[in-house]
Structure 1
Amino acid sequence: MRQYKVQGEGLYLMHCDNCHQADGSGLGRLIPPLSENTTIANNRNQIMCVIKYGLEGSLIINGVEYNGKMPGNTELTNLEIAEIMTFVGNSWENSIGIVLSSDVEKGMDSCH
């Protein structure tokens, strides 16, 4: 898991940090936090799809409504998404364990 988390941190800083912040706190009511976010654990496949294809519209995170647009990262591989998920899912009071590229491959079937 350590290698996935280390690789995931680098990818997070490259693709996600600008909006979700280095500490996962998000940006006010514009960008949802990733810290202490139960959606990550409870909706893993949905989060994988959001990382890859983005999201537009309303969602509720930790009881707060966010209504914006997150661009997709279609260039990311299943392995890279797994590494980002492993980093985010085990940082900032989240604890989901390792996410493997095979998990992402299966999870991508639920997109769209």
Structure 2
Amino acid sequence: MQLVLYRGEASLPESISGLAVSNRYIATAQSSGVIELFSNPHLFSLARIDIGMRDIQTMEFNGDVLVIGSLTQGIAYVDTLTMAVKKEKKKESGKCCAGKNRSWLFTV
């Protein structure tokens, strides 16, 4: 007797680096740059988009547009109606300042 186990489409758990919630949508960003969009409040999976953006720090909804901010790669806009992605590269998206006992990180 031989036992064979198959792992279909299995992946390691990945950390969530961003979360945004609006009246209609919930969006999560994984550390690999994958954005998942769910309906609010029923949590149906609507889309899974790989925008290829690392170091995601901020996410927010501006109407039907999801605004994603990264310190190293700029800002991305995802239109939730058409799922179109627009990226703007900004060289100085974040600034770091150090004091005597503290350091601050500002996003612009």
TM-score grouping bracket, smaller chain normalisation? under 0.3
Give TM-score, length-normalised by structure 2.
Answer: 0.26
More strand by share: 2
Q: TM-score, normalised by structure 1?
A: 0.25
